[in-house]
Amino acid sequence: MNLQPKYFPADDSLAAAIVNAVITEANDPRPMILAFHKIVWEDNGDISDLDTLMKVGAKAGYDMVRLRDSAHSDEMAGLREVHTQEAIDAGIFGVPWYEVRGEDFWGQDSLNQIAQRLED
């Protein structure tokens, strides 16, 4: 884990649109989300780079050409706005955000606190 990744913050709009495309297709987005998370927080990769997203998504088993094309649609842009508002309404103010046993944690540096909470 890298608490100060080279490319953070970065423009995550394309990555978010790709995840929304996965959700819209009624597929499980977790492998994609975890793969994108790993890019930033472990591999010092740039989540705003299309080639990086394409490689990582394909490695996770997704049809990235179809998802890339879908990500550029007006529908995905609208979903991002909806999800952003839902996050704001829920009191989420940053990423990464974790909810564990009803308690909210913000930031990669909170993983030790999360581990402690899971042990309690």
**pTM, whole model, 2 decimals?**
0.76
Quickly count: other Cβ atoms within 10 Å of residue 5's Cβ: 19
**pLDDT averages per 10-residue partition of the chain, 120 residues:** 79 91 86 89 91 91 89 85 90 85 85 86
Q: What is the model's pLDDT at position 17? A: 92
Of 53, 45, 33, whose CA–CA distance to 8 is shortest?
Answer: 45
Residue with token string 């930033």: 40
**Phi then psi for 100, rounded to 5 degrees?**
-130, 115
Domains for the chain: give ranges and CATH numbers. Answer: 1-89 (1.10.472.60), 93-120 (no CATH)
Give the whole-angstrom CA distance, residue 10 versus residue 30. Answer: 20
Give the pLDDT of residue 49.
Answer: 94
- 2 CB-near residues (< 8 Å, 6+ apart): 41, 42, 44
The Cα 107–Cα 100 span in angstroms is: 13
